[in-house]
């Protein structure tokens, strides 16, 4: 796979051969540059460029590009937050079995953003995300551990609260425990923005463990 990240070197035929990875890399380079940029005008231009390349990649069939584009709209990187567009692109990513798209789409169903609220559908998507992440992610790699932990935290919360399924305190405790382990790996790799999620997982683990004898491994 070429490491091309400049649009000046873009080769559409090669991009198609590599499944949209070239345009994905160019989009990511623009997105990363936008996150570091201080000038508002240049920052906006870079985010627009990132979105354009992500869309090109997603239309070739790249699941990660569809996922990244979902984040662009979810966080309002190219204007106002657009839940409908986020829903569209996360749906596309989920249809291509991307675990991040699956759990972010689950978040939208859970909250009713860009779609009708459906907690049961959200849990189904979290479980689907867990299945694909379990097959694809290496828990010793910080970025992969963060994906696993994010899914586990959501499943733990749903089990504890009875969102989309019956309450199951023991299973919630199990998910919280694994979320803690995986968030710790993520933070050890410098992904410090998961600090609050780690605190939430630790609190959930303590809360659901009170008076509970662990029997789930």
How far apart are the C-alpha atoms of 109 and 116, rounded to whole Å? Answer: 7
How far apart are the C-alpha atoms of 57 and 5, rounded to whole Å? Answer: 13
Given a cut of 90, is residue 121 above it in pLDDT? yes
pLDDT of residue 187: 98
Average pLDDT of 125-133?
Answer: 97
Any idea which residue has 């540059």 for tokens?
Answer: 33
Query: pLDDT tens for residues 132-156?
Result: 999 999 999 999 999 999 999 999 9
* Cβ-based neighbour number of residue 178 at 10 Å: 19
Give me the chain's average pLDDT, please: 94
- Taking alpha carbons only, the member of 174, 176, 132, 130 closest to residue 153 is 176
pLDDT of residue 4: 39
Query: pLDDT tens for residues 65-112?
Result: 999 999 999 999 999 999 999 999 999 999 999 999 999 999 999 999
Query: pLDDT tens for residues 21-49?
Result: 999 999 999 999 999 999 999 999 999 99
């Amino acid at each position: 796979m070429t490491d091309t990240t400049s649009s000046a070197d873009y080769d559409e035929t090669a991009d198609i051969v590599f499944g949209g990875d070239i345009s994905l890399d160019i989009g990511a380079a623009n997105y990363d540059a936008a996150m570091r940029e201080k000038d508002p005008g240049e920052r906006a231009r870079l985010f627009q460029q990132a979105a354009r390349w992500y869309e090109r990649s997603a239309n070739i069939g790249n699941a990660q590009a569809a996922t990244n584009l979902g984040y662009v709209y979810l966080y309002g990187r190219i204007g106002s937050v657009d839940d409908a567009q986020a829903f569209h692109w996360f749906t596309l990513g989920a249809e291509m079995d991307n675990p991040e798209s699956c759990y972010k789409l689950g978040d939208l169903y859970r909250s009713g953003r860009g779609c009708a609220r459906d907690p049961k559908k959200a849990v189904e998507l979290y479980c689907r995300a867990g299945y694909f992440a379990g097959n694809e992610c290496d828990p010793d790699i910080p970025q992969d551990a963060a994906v696993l932990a994010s899914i586990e935290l959501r499943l733990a919360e749903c089990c504890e609260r009875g969102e989309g399924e019956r309450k199951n305190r023991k299973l919630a405790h199990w998910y919280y425990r694994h979320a803690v382990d995986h968030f710790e790996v993520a933070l050890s790799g410098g992904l410090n923005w998961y600090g609050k999620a780690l605190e939430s997982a630790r609190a959930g683990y303590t809360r659901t463990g009170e008076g509970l004898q662990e029997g789930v491994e």
